[in-house]
Structure 1
Amino acid sequence: MTVSRRHLPFRRLLLCLLPLALAGCGLQPMYAGGASGVTAQVLQSISVSPIPGRAGYLMQGALNDRLGIAGSQGAGPQTGTRYRLDVILDDNLEALGVLSNDTVGRERRSLRARYRLVDLAEGMVLLDATAGSDAGIDVVSSEYATIAAEQTALENLTRDVADRIVTRLALVINRPADASR
């Protein structure tokens, strides 16, 4: 399908007006200002409570990395802490495909996180939500390869769930004050 020359000025006009229409709709960049922007500063004021277990260690590191907190495995809350993030993990590994010789051919690893964002000044829970992700794992004849695949799946899942949590936190932080009521 070809565009006739008489429609080109109209299309150019629409393309010029599109940024104005988007500016008028109230959309704003979430991370405006980069590391010195409001969202980044508030995310850096969140302290992640210790999370037990290997999955917890990985999750805490991934969350701290995404929140922009230096020394991602710190023992206690950093200075300037305004919020606390409490996370409870459920890491599950289950057999899915059973072969004819009664061996497992496929596994599914699922990681679910229930998290709460607490305002330390008021002691109020600002967000209570869940996030999760799943990964499929092929079980092969080498036990070492299967264990390595399970560990890699856990590492990938913690990064994915941490991304989901931090995105949700940023949305809550950027929510207008009148919309939260």
Structure 2
Amino acid sequence: MMRRLALVLALAVPLAACGLKPMYAGGAGGAIAQGLTAIDVSPIEGKSGWLMQSALTDRLGSARRSGAARYRLDVRLDDKLEGLGLLSDDTVTRERRTLRARYQLVDLATGEIVLDETVGLDAGIDVVSSEYATIAAENTALENLTKEVADRIVTRLALKLRSLDAGQR
């Protein structure tokens, strides 16, 4: 038993010295969480834009912000729906919905673009005989893609804010 404990302690010491730090240390009061709440999301056109702006605002916590915004997030979306599977009578049996987002994080104090990236995902949709079911599947795919893309954007923003915070120290 003592050997096991000694082995665990011996392995824990190098792990503690590896330099890994939790990104969201400090919870809602931590530097990264405070930095995310200081981001305003610009209006985005269309239904997919409304969904994306809502998802980003929820994930960033902008509604909880007490002071002025420090950054602005500009997002441009490209939402495509294309038919893939074709039968001999030119009937589409499968569709692919692609959602791509180009986003820029702008420092409001200097006007400098701090981050400029693109992220995108796609989803497959079965086209069935019921038009209602197909439309519902297309809408569900858009909602799910929007949430996933928003998650990826927020993760990348958090990484950028962490690197900016480390550069100020």
TM-score (norm 2): 0.91
The change in CA–CA distance for 1:84 and 1:136 in structure 2 (over 3 A counts) is: same
Segments of structure 2 that go 5 or more residues without pairing to the other structure are none
Q: In the TM superposition, what whole-angstrom CA distance separates every residue of 1:83-129 from its partner, at most 9, and x where no partner exists?
A: 00000000010111112332101000010000000001111111000
Percent identity at matched positions?
65
1:135-150 correspondence to structure 2 within 5 Å: 135-150=123-138
- Which stretch has the larger CA shift, 20-29 or 101-110? 20-29
1:59-138 correspondence to structure 2 within 5 Å: 59-70=52-63, 79-138=67-126
The change in CA–CA distance for 1:79 and 1:167 in structure 2 (over 3 A counts) is: same
For the Cα contact (< 8 Å) 1:111–1:134, is it kept in 2?
yes
Q: Does 2:62 match 1:32?
A: no
Q: Runs of 4+ in structure 1 displaced over 4 angstroms? A: none
How much has 1:79 moved relative to structure 2? 4.0
The change in CA–CA distance for 1:14 and 1:110 in structure 2 (over 3 A counts) is: farther
- The number of equivalent residue pairs is 166
1:161 aligned residue: 149
Report the aligned-residue RMSD. Answer: 2.0
The residue type equivalent to 1:130 in the other structure is: T
1:16 aligned residue: 9
Q: What is the distance in 2 between the residues matched to 1:55 and 1:78?
A: 28
The residue type equivalent to 2:131 in the other structure is: E
TM-score (norm 1): 0.86
How much has 1:80 moved relative to structure 2? 1.7
Q: What is the distance in 2 between the residues matched to 1:63 and 1:164?
A: 10
Q: In the TM superposition, what whole-angstrom CA distance separates every residue of 1:128-170 from its partner, at most 9, and x where no partner exists?
A: 0011111000000000000000000000000000000000000
The change in CA–CA distance for 1:87 and 1:78 in structure 2 (over 3 A counts) is: farther
